[in-house]
Structure 1
Amino acid sequence: TGIIKEISDPKISKEEKQSIITRQEKLYGVVLGQIIDVNGKDLFSGKDYSGRDYFKASMAGKAYLGSPVLSKVTGQLTLVVSAPIWENGVQGSKIAGIVTFDLDKDFLNDIVKNIKISENSYSYLIDNEGTTIADEDASLVGVENTIKQSETDKSLLPFAEVDKKLVEGKKGCSDVEINGEDCVLGYAPVENSNGWGVGVMVNKGDFLGEMYISIIITIILAVVFTILSFISAKKFSNKIGNPLKGCSERLKKLAEGDLNSETT
């Protein structure tokens, strides 16, 4: 959208620009598109967004996918995506402002819920401070932070150690125990995000033995990267679902002892 030259053209009326944004909303399945000028003022509402992280990031020339924030318009927790508006639609030229869209507040939770590696797998997403921004249990979003909570609840220490590594941008796997069950927690940073990290936990009992764990973790991380590389718009929902289905089916075969089928 930031390279649609009409939205940077001062000769184009506000009504015409609103029409362009409305078309983009329908095309990508997003809502509340805004054009924000270089001073942080929304063209349509006049509201000031100059203090928002997404404004600062996109004014620096970056596409931005940040943590959920409280919308000034709806008052609800909202996920904002933004991109620079390039003068004359020429990428890398002068920045004439930014364009933003809101994703549905359940968008990330829906993706996390669909990361199913095995019957007892569990997935979550944290921001750059370790706060949960997506979880199969939606009540934990914006509330849970194992790094802080482990200071008083020592049972959370193994999970806090993983989340600390995520905040540091590391990837790997750790053994953890939950409800008396031995599990493996694979984790990786989310590229092109605002320091997000994703964790996918599987119960060792769902697989045949220790010899499969490294393979399991490799594919867990492959699933994570495949899914989250398409997270920026609902337009890609089918692209999310199809690789996910293939990877999940591959893991089920691993659990049954099939080491020959290729990862899809």
Structure 2
Amino acid sequence: MMQNPANQACAVSAQPPKPTKKLRLFWQNLSGEAQSRWQQLHSLWQHRRQRRHLLTLLILGSTALTISATACVSYFFVRGLILDNLKEIALLKLEKGSDEIDRWLSSRQAEIETIAYSPTIRTLNWQLAEPSLQGEIYRLKEYFILSLIQPDGEFQNTLGDRTNVKDRQYFKTAMAGKVNVSDPLISRTTKVPSITIAAPILALPPTPNQVIGVLSGSIKLDRVTNVANSLSYGSESYAFALNSKGVPIVHPNSNLTGNSDPLTNSFLHSKDPALAAIARQMTDRHTNIELVKIDRKWVYVAYTPLDEVNWSMALVIPRENIESQLQALNLLTSVVAGLIGPAMLAAIWLIYSSESNRAQAEREAMLNRISGRIRASLELDQIVQSTVEEIVNLLHLERAGFGWYEPPQQMLQILWECGQSDNPKPVKKFAPYCINNLSMRLEESEPILLSSDTFAEEKNQSLQLKANSYLAVPVLTQSQSQGYLICSHATHWFWSGEEIQLLKAVADQLAIAITQSHLYSQTQDQVKLLNSALTELKKTQTHLVQSEKMSSLGQMVAGIAHEINNPVNFIFANLPYTSKYLEDLLELVSLYKQAFPEIPPEIEDFAASIDLDFIEEDLPQMLSSMKIGTERIRQIVLSLRNFS
């Protein structure tokens, strides 16, 4: 890809070749023409038939594949959305039951903690605490035993039993200052499976934050069992709960339920790997719903942990209970699959009917893009180079170029060129030989051999344009020069009518752009002239304004000089008389001193106060200075008059 401005086309017209060379070129042109005629017919039949057939098969195959793939993807996508929604509903139902158990356990913990904070209980005196605990059992109804445990693990309960529970985990956790709920266990006094809620008992002031004992309450599992039994999602669905060790504490099969005292079989060690994996997720406190195979049956298992205790709830739902709601989608998919055949026929008809419209739209879009690139600039080099680049890229040409044809010299000067090769060839002036009318041969796409000589190279370089492999489109501009847009295919196929019409339209747009570029250049020249004239006009205007300012300043200076001159002349004219009068007065004072040596005290005092001797000495000097100053002012006034 290369751009060469006109001033870089440094070749000149070559001398006519020798007669033997002319004969060889003539036979080359003749044989090339015969070969091109044969290739013309063969390429036309092969290219059009195979290309259209291949294009049709490609469109049909692509359409069938696209429709099938779209249908499959749409089915599985919609199925996944619906199934995810159904699974979310099941999981929300399980979370609702879990939240109910959490709220119930939270209330029980708050009750035990409130009782443990009672001043009576904080005394750890069983005689004082027993009546209060018996009253709480009667009031709350949820607990069947309340126990007061000493720091060493010894405890007494409301049934009157005594034992030691220092090895129990709930006791250790409560002594650490935390309210907790134990896993289900067998009571050592009543031998009944129960849940124990324990809260620390804090010491009375002055050490209120010290744990001095534990208050515990035992609750049966009936509430948890009732909530689990209420959870269902269709027939044969059931819920179960696991403790922190993976042991089922609630399960429809009572043979599987157990507690931590003694530890029974955990689901973590189940022989069913799917059930063991679910139990592992539950003990790790994860929330999810999975499709697994348990007891040779596919089921969905939703599981979620409890917040108030380290347990997890699970809801087992048969697969058909959830996926039965996808029957409408499956029916719709079957109907759509049955309509694919007619849809394919309709698609084929639409393809063939819209082929011409699509081709026309593509040509218009391509033309608009090329036109946009052409009109993006008013510089001639950029316009033409953008045009040949867009033509090569959009039409997948081997080469495209633009040149000016000079009829008097029979010279084709190619100045802009673009090709698919990474190593562009230098663009030069070409002088065609054995051609009577170059313009006609170019327009009729006849074989042409262009050769050129340069000052720097002695060997003759040639460019052969074979028949039907190139297309020369004239670019008619308003200037005297005639341009040609020359395009070359990578094969010897015919140029289709659509391509010719497109290139003609591009040539028209290029001609308009070149004309606009010339007009733009002329306009720029006119703008430069106007800017130069405007600059000169501004200089003249500035000179006139300056002259007017100087004239006004001269008049003003003359007026000022006249006004100053009058009072200065008055002062200068009176200075000689003032000097004479002063001398007379000083002489008179001197005579008075001689005539009257005895001066009256009043006059002597006044003469001393005004320093009469200094005045007699300084006053003549002052008059002399005034005379010099007035003379200087008169010289300045004279200079101002000369300036004006």
* Matched position secondary structure for 1:130: coil
- Superposition pairs of residues 24-173 of structure 1, within 5 angstroms: 24-26=136-138, 27-44=140-157, 45-88=161-204, 93-142=209-258, 143-150=264-271, 156-173=272-289
Tell whether the 8 Å contact from 2:233 to 2:321 is kept in structure 1 after alignment. Answer: no
1:199 aligns with 2:314: yes
TM-score (norm 1): 0.68
CA distance in 1, matches of 2:185, 2:244: 14
Which letter maps to 2:147?
Q
> Which structure 2 segments of 5+ residues have no match?
1-114, 259-263, 328-644
CA distance in 2, matches of 1:200, 1:164: 15
Q: Which residue of 1 aligns with 2:121?
A: 7
Q: Which has the higher helix share?
A: 2
Please list the CA deviations of residues 196-224 of structure 1 after superposition, one character each: whole Å capped at 9, or x if unmatched. Answer: 222112223223139xxxxxxxxxxxxxx
- For residue 34 of structure 1, report the CA deviation from its aligned partner: 0.1
- For residue 105 of structure 1, report the CA deviation from its aligned partner: 4.5
CA distance in 1, matches of 2:177, 2:234: 40
- For residue 28 of structure 1, report the CA deviation from its aligned partner: 4.0
Q: Which residue of 2 aligns with 1:189?
A: 305
Tell whether the 8 Å contact from 1:84 to 1:99 is kept in structure 2 after alignment. Answer: yes
User: Structure 1 residues 66, 55: CA separation in 2 closer, same or farther (over 3 Å shift)?
Assistant: same
Q: Which residue of 2 aligns with 1:19?
A: 131
Which letter maps to 1:61?
G
* Matched position secondary structure for 1:137: coil
Tell whether the 8 Å contact from 2:275 to 2:294 is kept in structure 1 after alignment. Answer: no
Tell whether the 8 Å contact from 1:112 to 1:136 is kept in structure 2 after alignment. Answer: no
Which letter maps to 2:135?
R
Tell whether the 8 Å contact from 2:274 to 2:294 is kept in structure 1 after alignment. Answer: no
The number of residue pairs the alignment matches comes to 201
* Matched position secondary structure for 1:139: coil
TM-score (norm 2): 0.29
User: Structure 1 residues 138, 23: CA separation in 2 closer, same or farther (over 3 Å shift)?
Assistant: farther
Bigger relative contact order (CA 8 A; separation at least 6): 1
Tell whether the 8 Å contact from 1:6 to 1:88 is kept in structure 2 after alignment. Answer: no
- For residue 7 of structure 1, report the CA deviation from its aligned partner: 0.3
Tell whether the 8 Å contact from 1:5 to 1:86 is kept in structure 2 after alignment. Answer: no
* Matched position secondary structure for 2:172: helix
CA distance in 2, matches of 1:191, 1:20: 30
- For residue 96 of structure 1, report the CA deviation from its aligned partner: 2.3
CA distance in 2, matches of 1:144, 1:47: 27
User: Structure 1 residues 96, 190: CA separation in 2 closer, same or farther (over 3 Å shift)?
Assistant: same
Tell whether the 8 Å contact from 2:225 to 2:250 is kept in structure 1 after alignment. Answer: yes
CA distance in 2, matches of 1:148, 1:181: 20
User: Structure 1 residues 56, 15: CA separation in 2 closer, same or farther (over 3 Å shift)?
Assistant: same
Which letter maps to 1:141?
T
Which letter maps to 2:281?
K
- Report the RMSD for the aligned CA atoms in angstroms: 2.5
User: Structure 1 residues 162, 47: CA separation in 2 closer, same or farther (over 3 Å shift)?
Assistant: same
- For residue 137 of structure 1, report the CA deviation from its aligned partner: 2.3
User: Structure 1 residues 62, 118: CA separation in 2 closer, same or farther (over 3 Å shift)?
Assistant: farther
- For residue 65 of structure 1, report the CA deviation from its aligned partner: 1.3
Q: Which has the higher strand share?
A: 1
CA distance in 2, matches of 1:164, 1:179: 18
User: Structure 1 residues 179, 39: CA separation in 2 closer, same or farther (over 3 Å shift)?
Assistant: closer
Which letter maps to 1:34?
S
Tell whether the 8 Å contact from 1:147 to 1:161 is kept in structure 2 after alignment. Answer: yes
- For residue 124 of structure 1, report the CA deviation from its aligned partner: 0.8
**Greater CA radius of gyration, 1 or 2?**
2
* Matched position secondary structure for 1:110: helix
- For residue 181 of structure 1, report the CA deviation from its aligned partner: 4.4
Q: Which residue of 2 aligns with 1:209?
A: 326
* Matched position secondary structure for 2:155: coil
Please list the CA deviations of residues 76-101 of structure 1 after superposition, one character each: whole Å capped at 9, or x if unmatched. Answer: 32221211123349xx8222211111
CA distance in 2, matches of 1:205, 1:55: 46
